[in-house]
Structures are given as structure tokens and as C-alpha cells.
Structure 1
Amino acid sequence: MKNLFFFDSMITPKIITFIYWLLLVSAVVSGLSFMFGGYSGMTFGSFIGGLLIVAGGALGARVWCELLIVLFKINSNLQKLSDSSQ
């Protein structure tokens, strides 16, 4: 508990993991609703578009979350380097 109150331990990477899974689920749901939604008829373009939404959303969510995690890894490594030099 002390680590949490004095910012020795970061909780944001755990939150980012949760947000990644939420973004992934939303990309799949959005893509499926685009593919099989109640539009003016099922067309091949809407099916391909839905697949692109799923793939692009999953890739975009992954890249965004990885970039955020990299920042926290850099912070962790800098703290280790600082502790070892003292």
C-alpha cells in the first residue's frame, strides 16, 4: 500500500491493459455491426469494410497502448539506473 501512495509503483500500466481489451472489444463489435448491420442490403463492400474496421481498430489499439507502455518502461529503467548509480 505504501508503494501506491508514494508513487513507487505505477498502476497506469494495469489500467492501460484493461483499456486495450476494451478497445479491442469495441473494434470487433464496431466491425461486426458494420458487416451485418441493418443497412439497405448486405453488400460485399460493407463486409470488407467491417473486416478493415476490425483489423485497423485492433492494430491501432495495440500500437497506441504499446506506445504508452514504452513510456512507463523507460521510466522504470531510468529509476533502476538512478538507483544503481547512487
Structure 2
Amino acid sequence: MIDGVRFRVRTGVPWRDVPAEYGPWSRSYDLFHRWRRDGTWHEILTRLQPLAVEQGQKPMRYDKPAVRYEATVLVAAVNERL
């Protein structure tokens, strides 16, 4: 399911277009939104941000225009750790 979330964030496709190889799109959608509600994504971002800054990347912003960029950075950081 996390791969489905990563695919969706990386590509920007609608949830229903997440390939079946990642499982049912609705499960990836539910996981993403559950983690957003319970603060898991914020926790991941908070822990990865110092590592990104350490590697010379710009500090992450939290305003709406930056959301897509930040999601891409988050996915890249998670991919790097996997």
C-alpha cells in the first residue's frame, strides 16, 4: 500500500488510476488519509527534514503552493531510505 501512496504522490494521478499492482486504490487512499489525520506524515516529514537540510537541500515549507514540491521531496527521501 505504501508503494501505491508513493506512486500517487510522485505522479499526481487520481487515486483511482493507481495501478492495480499496488493493490486496491482505495486501500492506498485510506492509508494516506489515515496517516494524514493521525499525524504520521507530519512525523515522517519532521524526522526527514533535518536529514535533507544536512544534505544541502532547502528547508521544507508548509504553505499551500509548496505542498506538491514537499510531497515530492518526502517521497524521494522515503525512497532513498527504503
TM-score by length of 1: 0.28
TM-score by length of 2: 0.29
Q: Which has the higher helix share?
A: 1
Structure number, greater radius of gyration:
1
